């Protein structure tokens, strides 16, 4: 063979090899941090959910207005007294390794969520006692007590279905090479580098998936993320901070879409969790005074440029479960002072624990100034997030500043926080009437009935204020105009059905 | 040091204009730190939400930060934290290194051997990592950052102190003293200790500079001086987020750190030349 | 003492040092507040799940037992797995160490390119304003806080000018151009610090050799000045410079911590910081151990080079 031929062949091979994705569309998404293990049973980090949206389909999904819609399951039917629910499954669905999705697989997955040591889904669907396989495409979940919010749990990681065969093969290490039934299958993961997934040819809804390949790139520095979006290195970035919005809006090649989040930013107050609850927990009027001294609108305006939403209840004002009879109160320093006088407190002083995260540090300073005007001295103590949450558990706090990412079902935003001995009730607040209402609400199927029950909880909580809810964020997604068909969802997750890259 | 030599050293120090300027800069920083209350135009923790992230102007010489505080005033007040963070850890390290170095170098034998092994192990772990781990353990605060940096700086000083002791042990006057029957502690105290000081002093200047940068690095990671108290490093931490909108928030604290560290390094250079044993 | 025996003795001495390092960092981590199991849990803590994690990773056993288990595993080559991502630590090490080494190599190149000629010029023009300026520039490189320099360079080149990417490292075999552009700024940031040290040491080493007898002899023989500098002085000055290079390289490896954080380079330093903040014990242990081992080995290399290059130390003529 002549040298020229060899050379040409070599060049041809190299060109082909160097550009295998010539005709492929590749969507590059910037993540705010590196996801943890990609195993739905043990995953905790929010960013993991963004990757799961591509990899793993769930039994149900939610619409932007939080209605439950079919995904891997096509319908549900509650049994008598909401003690069981029958799910009908979608036929013809395959896992990425070719294994069939059926009732057996659902049973395997649910049992895995419940029995794996270290499973974080146990607290979400722990009420499931057993799973019955009725036929290949029908399962029944038997519950130890009625639990309507269970369905909402099945729209997230607890409802994600992984291939039983792969799970048995990989065991603990499943998270390093996940095999699910979503629109994309796992290709590779470079830790803290990138996660690459590509289109699954046998996806049940493949007609609606237009993009061939997705690369998730964790970039912790927001300036670098934004710069990469502007330079075209990234096509989309998630959870954009309000201070970066102006820059994106000014750029003609970029767009930003925002939607109210499911969660809220809050200050839990120690009401009766040990000795530190003495001062603030002694009289609800003290907590009401603190609440009245805060001007939520000014906070949202000055720190967040009015991009966020002032809040005072466990759901945002735009939620159907919001109690319109108790709107966000205007600041009233005089009333706050009066309440403190009535409670017989002079020179109220307390400490607020704040993690180093910028948003809350800045707001804490504003709060300090606002409370000072009402004669309340609030000291700021900085603590790392993990340490702060642990201190909260132990009762080693007077007030701390945290947030809740929110759940599609209102129960997920209130139950464990306010029920006596609730898993996240660090305040150790306890009110039997409230408990009765909350329990009844999670056992009632009819949304209108539930709203009435939650409405009855509002006056109790507004009076006792075991936590101060301050604002709700908007989840902003920044993206290149080349990306089309994007719909924002309140959970901030990018869904790939209908997404196109031109 | 004897009188004549001391005079020589000082003369050599002031003969170099660079050293003099550096010394003046350091003194100026100390002065700023001490007189912060009179020099700063604004209260460093006074927030002003109407003037958030404003560019440098006549009203705010170096602009304002993310909650409307005056950057210039925060720089001035921040000098206290940063200079303390430079001086205290090094003083801690030097004070501890003298007895430890004497113990290891003078005693020798297996005590020396094992101490040095432990010391080398500590030296092998990256300085910043020791500082980060310790600061995270003790809890984020300026005081704990200083302790962490002090401990992390110790191995270098111990090694230096011990090395000096070893070199001095063989000096003529020490041997003479031994021959005359002076007790070991007396020799250590009268002859060795004073002559250990010059190299330690030189190293201190550089170490203070490194400590200032270390505190800034820790604060940058969220582990040093906590907000709202001003510190140059934590100012850089906050500035990172607003880099494109308000670059002055990052520019000036960095330049300030650069200035003091540079001055300390030049001073260290001058000290090294002045105290150079070749000349005495 | 022969070279072989010297190396052997030093390598043997390495073992207790590394053991000490592992004990030190292990105790340091145990002192860190914040249960890693809880750190993993994040927002809501299911006590059963947390307890299960603790049991799985032996976090509920006493420190000494944990250390024994860990040591046993390491000797078998098992560094455990990241608590957070469940990826085996050895895999993390294998993928990240080359990145940091590449960064360190590029930084050393920058340092040599800047520092060496500056040092030579400074030494030959001793006492002139050029010498003074060069010294000042070297000191500036040493004094500038490198994480600030990094931020400023990002602002200028990535945000304002858009010439260089702000993130998105790619390995050289995947995308060589991207690899170079993403490493350029961090190498400059790290390299300028070392360049300063390089320059000053080159200068003093050159000054010493320029004064030496053989140089004076060469000059007396009317050898052209350029030849004197380059051939004789520089060649002999290279020894202390190389040994310094080996030591500084070791320091670069660990000094990349903040730089990698800022430039989002998926290397050792970033792995370490993330590990400390996530209380990912296994990762921190392994990274520190490997860094320490590298540092000690490089120091050994430096000493060996010095030993080899310096005939007087070899006990021969």
**What confidence tier does C316 reach under pLDDT thresholds 50, 70, 90?**
very low
Contacts of B79 (CB under 8 A, 6+ apart): B29, B32, B33, B36, B256
C253-272 tens-digit pLDDT: 666 888 888 888 888 888 88
Q: Which of A375-379, B238-242, C281-285 has the highest mean pLDDT?
A: A375-379
- Tell me which of A90-94, A356-360, A432-436, B70-74 is least confident: A356-360
CB contact under 8 A, B220 and C29: no
> Taking residues A146-173, what's their average pLDDT?
92
Cβ-count burial C273-293 (b if 16+ within 10 Å, e if not): bbbbbbbbbbbbbbbbbbbbe
CB contact under 8 A, B241 and A223: yes
> Residue C29 in 3-state DSSP?
helix
pLDDT at A74: 95
Per CB-CB distance under 8 Å, the chain A contacts of C86 are 36-37, 39, 42, 172-173, 175-176
pLDDT at C31: 66
**What confidence tier does C204 reach under pLDDT thresholds 50, 70, 90?**
confident
Burial of A55 (0-12, 13-18, 19+ CB in 10 A): buried
Burial of C317 (0-12, 13-18, 19+ CB in 10 A): exposed
CA nearest B131 in C: which residue?
A: C28
Residue of A245, A250, A302 to mutate when probing chain B, most B C-beta within 10 A = A302
Q: Please report, for residues A122, A259, A452, B47, B206, the alpha-carbon distance to residue A262 in angstroms, rounded to integers and kept in the order given.
A: 21, 9, 20, 31, 52
Q: Calculate the CA A211 to chain-centre distance.
A: 25
CA nearest C258 in B: which residue?
A: B217
Hey, which residues does A259 pair with through a beta bridge?
A475
Share of chain A above pLDDT 70, in %: 95
- In sign, the C-alpha dihedral spanning C276, C280, C282, C283 is negative
> Taking residues A358-379, what's their average pLDDT?
90
- Could you tell me which chains touch chain B, where touching means 3 or more CB pairs under 8 A? A, C
**Residues A272 and A281: beta-carbon distance below 8 Å:** yes
A265-308 tens-digit pLDDT: 999 999 999 999 999 999 999 999 999 999 999 999 988 989 99
**Residues C205 and C215: beta-carbon distance below 8 Å:** no
CB contact under 8 A, A358 and B238: yes
CB contact under 8 A, C276 and B243: no
Residue A475 has pLDDT above 60, yes or no: yes
The encoded tokens of residue A433 equal 């009437």
pLDDT at C315: 42
> Taking residues B163-192, what's their average pLDDT?
77
> Taking residues A77-103, what's their average pLDDT?
93
**What confidence tier does B279 reach under pLDDT thresholds 50, 70, 90?**
very low
The encoded tokens of residue A222 equal 């927001």
- Could you tell me which chains touch chain C, where touching means 3 or more CB pairs under 8 A? A, B
- Tell me which of A190-194, B62-66, C65-69 is least confident: A190-194
Per CB-CB distance under 8 Å, the chain A contacts of B47 are 365-366, 369
The C-alpha atoms of residue C308 and residue B20 are separated, in whole angstroms, by 42
CB contact under 8 A, A243 and B49: no
Phi and psi at residue C201, to the nearest 5°: -70, -40
> Taking residues A77-82, what's their average pLDDT?
88
Asked if A168 is an interface residue toward chain B (Cβ–Cβ < 8 A), one would say no
Per CB-CB distance under 8 Å, the chain A contacts of B222 are 356, 384
CA nearest A388 in B: which residue?
A: B139
The C-alpha atoms of residue C175 and residue C165 are separated, in whole angstroms, by 13
CA nearest A30 in C: which residue?
A: C168
DSSP structural state of residue A495: P
CB contact under 8 A, A219 and C168: yes
The C-alpha atoms of residue B157 and residue B165 are separated, in whole angstroms, by 12
If phi over 0 gives left and psi between -120 and 50 gives alpha, with beta otherwise, what is residue A82? left
Closest CA to B159 of B215, B238, B93, B243: B93
**What confidence tier does A37 reach under pLDDT thresholds 50, 70, 90?**
confident
Q: At what angle do helices B17-34 and B71-107 cross, to 10 degrees?
A: 120
- Tell me which of A16-20, A124-128, A380-384, C16-20 is least confident: A16-20
pLDDT at C277: 76
Task: Name the more confident of A47 and C282.
Answer: A47
Collect all residues from B whose CB is shorter than 8 A from any CB in C.
Answer: 18, 117-118, 120-122, 124-130, 132-134, 136-137, 139, 209, 213, 216-217, 220-221, 236, 239-240, 243-244, 247, 250-251, 253-254, 257-258, 261-262, 264-266, 269
> Taking residues B226-233, what's their average pLDDT?
80
B93-128 tens-digit pLDDT: 999 999 888 888 878 788 888 888 888 878 777 777
Q: With helix as H, strand as E and coil as C, how does chain B read?
A: CCHHHHHHHHHHHHHCHHHHHHHHHHHHHHHHHHCHHHHCCCCCCCCCCCCCCCCCCCCCCCCECCCCCEHHHHHHHHHHHHHHHHHHHHHHHHHHHHHHHHHHHHHCHHHHHHHHHHHHHHHHCCHHHHHHHHHHHHCCCHHHHHHHHHHHHHHHHHHHHHHHHHHHHCCHHHHHHHHCCCCHHHHHHHHHHHHHHHHHHHHHHHHHHHHHHHHHHHHHCCCCCCCCCCCHHHHHHHHHHCCCCCCHHHHHHHHHHHHHHHHHHHHHHHHHHHCCHHHC
Per CB-CB distance under 8 Å, the chain B contacts of A227 are 244
The C-alpha atoms of residue C31 and residue B137 are separated, in whole angstroms, by 6
Residue B165 has pLDDT above 80, yes or no: yes
The C-alpha atoms of residue B229 and residue A476 are separated, in whole angstroms, by 32
H helix and E strand count, chain C: 13, 0
Closest CA to A366 of A293, A430, A433: A293
What is the nearest CA distance from C124 to chain B, expressed in angstroms? Answer: 19
B66 vs A362, A382, A387: nearest CB = A362
Per CB-CB distance under 8 Å, the chain B contacts of C275 are none
Contacts of A320 (CB under 8 A, 6+ apart): A447, A451
**What confidence tier does C43 reach under pLDDT thresholds 50, 70, 90?**
low
Residue of A36, A196, A229 to mutate when probing chain C, most C C-beta within 10 A = A36
The C-alpha atoms of residue B138 and residue B134 are separated, in whole angstroms, by 6
> Taking residues C81-101, what's their average pLDDT?
85
Residues counted in chain A: 502
A186-244 tens-digit pLDDT: 999 887 678 999 999 999 999 999 999 999 998 887 888 888 898 888 999 999 988 88
The arrangement of strands across the sheet holding A399-400 comes to A377-382, A349-354, A399-400
pLDDT at C224: 72
Interface confidence (ipTM) of the complex: 0.80
CA triple A54-A56-A60, angle to 5 deg: 110
CA nearest A243 in B: which residue?
A: B242
CA trace torsion C172, C173, C178, C181 (10° rounding): 20
Burial of A243 (0-12, 13-18, 19+ CB in 10 A): buried
**Residues B228 and B45: beta-carbon distance below 8 Å:** yes
The encoded tokens of residue C313 equal 């130390």
Residue A315 has pLDDT above 70, yes or no: yes
Q: At what angle do helices B127-138 and C268-277 cross, to 10 degrees?
A: 10
pLDDT at A440: 93
**What confidence tier does C14 reach under pLDDT thresholds 50, 70, 90?**
confident
Per CB-CB distance under 8 Å, the chain B contacts of A382 are 140, 226-227
In chain A, the N- to C-terminal Cα span, in Å, equals 43
Mean of the per-residue pLDDT values for chain A? 90
Closest CA to A471 of A301, A349, A332: A301
Looking at A321-430, list the stretches that DSSP marks H as alpha helix, in order from N- to C-terminal side: 333-342, 358-373, 385-394, 411-418
- Could you tell me which chains touch chain A, where touching means 3 or more CB pairs under 8 A? B, C
Burial of B274 (0-12, 13-18, 19+ CB in 10 A): buried
């Amino acid at each position: 063979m002549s040298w020229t031929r060899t050379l040409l062949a070599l060049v041809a091979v190299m060109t082909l090899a160097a550009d295998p994705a010539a005709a492929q569309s590749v969507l590059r998404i910037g993540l705010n941090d590196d996801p943890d293990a990609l195993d739905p049973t043990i995953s905790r980090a929010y960013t993991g959910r963004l990757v799961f949206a591509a990899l793993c389909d769930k039994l149900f999904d939610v619409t932007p207005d939080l209605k439950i819609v079919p995904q891997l399951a096509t319908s549900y039917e509650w049994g008598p007294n909401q003690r069981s629910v029958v799910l009908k499954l979608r036929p013809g669905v395959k896992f990425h390794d070719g294994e069939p999705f059926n009732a057996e697989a659902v049973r395997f997955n649910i049992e895995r969520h419940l029995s794996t040591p270290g499973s974080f889904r146990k607290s979400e669907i722990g009420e499931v006692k057993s799973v019955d396989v009725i036929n290949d495409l029908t399962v029944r979940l038997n519950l130890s007590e009625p639990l309507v919010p269970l369905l909402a749990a099945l729209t997230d990681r607890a409802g994600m279905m992984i291939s039983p065969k792969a799970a048995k093969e990989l065991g603990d290490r499943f998270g390093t090479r996940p095999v699910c039934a979503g629109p994309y299958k796992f290709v590779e993961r470079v830790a803290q580098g990138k996660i690459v997934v590509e289109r699954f040819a046998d996806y049940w809804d493949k007609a609606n998936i237009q993009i061939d390949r997705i690369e998730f790139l964790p970039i912790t520095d927001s300036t670098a993320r934004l710069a990469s979006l502007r330079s075209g290195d990234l096509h989309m970035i998630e959870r954009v901070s309000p201070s970066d919005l102006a820059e994106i809006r000014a750029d003609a090649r970029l767009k930003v879409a925002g939607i109210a989040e499911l969660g809220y930013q809050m200050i839990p107050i120690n009401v009766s969790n040990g000795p530190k609850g003495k001062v603030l927990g002694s009289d609800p009027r003290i907590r009401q005074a603190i609440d009245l001294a805060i001007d939520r609108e000014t906070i949202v305006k000055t720190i967040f440029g009015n991009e966020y939403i002032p809040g005072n209840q466990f759901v945002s004002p735009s939620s159907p479960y919001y109690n319109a009879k108790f709107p966000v109160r205007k600041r009233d320093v005089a009333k706050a002072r009066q309440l403190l006088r009535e409670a017989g407190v002079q020179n109220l002083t307390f400490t607020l624990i704040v993690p180093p995260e910028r948003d809350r540090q800045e707001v804490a300073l504003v709060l300090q100034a606002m409370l000072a005007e009402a004669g309340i001295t609030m000291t700021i103590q900085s603590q790392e997030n993990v340490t702060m949450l642990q201190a909260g558990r132990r009762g080693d706090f007077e007030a701390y500043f945290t947030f809740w990412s929110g759940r599609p079902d209102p129960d997920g935003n209130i139950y464990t926080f306010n029920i006596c001995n609730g898993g996240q009730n660090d305040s150790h607040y306890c009110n039997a009437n409230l408990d009765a209402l909350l329990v009844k609400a999670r056992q009632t199927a009819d949304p209108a009935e539930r709203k009435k029950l939650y409405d009855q909880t509002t006056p109790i909580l507004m009076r006792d204020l075991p936590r101060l809810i301050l604002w709700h964020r908007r989840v902003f997604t920044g993206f290149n105009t080349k990306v089309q068909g994007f719909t924002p969802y309140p959970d901030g997750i990018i869904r790939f059905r209908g997404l196109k890259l031109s | 040091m004897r009188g004549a030599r001391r005079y020589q050293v000082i003369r050599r120090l002031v003969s170099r204009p660079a050293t003099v300027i550096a010394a003046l800069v350091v003194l100026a920083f100390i002065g700023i730190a001490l007189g912060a209350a009179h020099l700063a135009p604004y209260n460093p923790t006074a927030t002003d939400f109407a003037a958030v992230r404003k560019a440098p102007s006549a009203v705010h010489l170096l602009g304002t930060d993310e909650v409307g505080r005056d950057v210039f005033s925060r720089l001035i007040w921040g000098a206290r934290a940063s200079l303390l963070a430079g001086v205290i850890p090094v003083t801690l390290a030097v004070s501890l290194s003298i007895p430890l170095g004497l113990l290891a170098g003078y005693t020798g034998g297996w005590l020396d051997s094992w101490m040095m092994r432990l010391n080398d192990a500590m030296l092998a772990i990256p300085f910043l990592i020791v500082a980060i781990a310790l600061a995270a353990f003790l809890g984020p605060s300026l005081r704990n950052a200083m302790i962490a940096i002090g401990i992390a700086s110790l191995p270098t000083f111990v090694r230096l102190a011990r090395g000096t002791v070893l070199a001095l042990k063989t000096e003529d006057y020490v041997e003479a003293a031994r021959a005359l029957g002076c007790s070991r502690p007396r020799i250590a105290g009268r002859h060795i200790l004073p002559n250990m000081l010059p190299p330690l002093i030189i190293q201190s200047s550089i170490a203070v500079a490194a400590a200032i940068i270390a505190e800034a690095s820790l604060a940058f990671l969220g582990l040093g001086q906590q907000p709202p108290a001003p510190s140059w490093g934590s100012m850089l931490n906050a500035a990172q987020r607003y880099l494109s909108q308000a670059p002055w928030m990052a520019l000036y604290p960095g330049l300030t750190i650069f200035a003091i560290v540079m001055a300390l390094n030049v001073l260290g250079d001058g000290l090294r030349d002045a105290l150079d044993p070749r000349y005495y | 003492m022969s070279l072989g025996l010297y190396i052997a003795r030093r390598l043997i001495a390495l073992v207790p040092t590394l053991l000490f390092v592992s004990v030190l960092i292990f105790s340091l981590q145990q002192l860190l507040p914040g249960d890693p199991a809880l750190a993993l849990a994040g927002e809501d803590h299911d006590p059963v799940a947390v307890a299960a994690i603790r049991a799985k990773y032996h976090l509920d056993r006493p420190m000494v037992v944990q250390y024994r288990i860990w040591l046993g595993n390491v000797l078998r080559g098992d560094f455990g797995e990241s608590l957070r991502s469940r990826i085996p630590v050895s895999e993390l090490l294998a993928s990240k160490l080359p990145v940091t080494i590449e960064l360190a190599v590029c930084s050393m190149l920058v340092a040599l390119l800047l520092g060496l000629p500056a040092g030579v010029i400074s030494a030959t023009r001793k006492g002139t304003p050029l010498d003074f300026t060069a010294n000042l520039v070297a000191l500036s490189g040493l004094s500038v806080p490198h994480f600030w320099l990094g931020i400023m360079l990002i602002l200028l080149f990535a945000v304002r000018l858009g010439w260089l990417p702000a993130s998105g490292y790619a390995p050289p075999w995947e995308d060589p151009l991207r690899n170079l552009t993403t490493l350029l700024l961090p190498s400059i940031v790290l390299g300028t610090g070392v360049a300063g040290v390089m320059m000053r040491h080159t200068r003093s080493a050159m000054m010493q050799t320029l004064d030496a007898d053989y140089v004076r002899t060469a000059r007396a023989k009317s050898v052209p000045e350029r030849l004197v500098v380059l051939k004789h002085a520089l060649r002999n000055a290279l020894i202390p410079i190389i040994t310094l290079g080996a030591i500084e390289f070791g320091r670069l490896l660990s000094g990349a911590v903040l730089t990698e954080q800022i430039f989002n380079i998926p290397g050792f330093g970033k792995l370490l910081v993330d590990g400390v903040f996530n209380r990912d014990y296994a990762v921190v242990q392994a990274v520190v151990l490997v860094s320490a081992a590298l540092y000690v080995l490089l120091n050994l290399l430096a000493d060996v080079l010095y030993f080899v290059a310096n005939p007087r130390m070899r006990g021969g003529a």
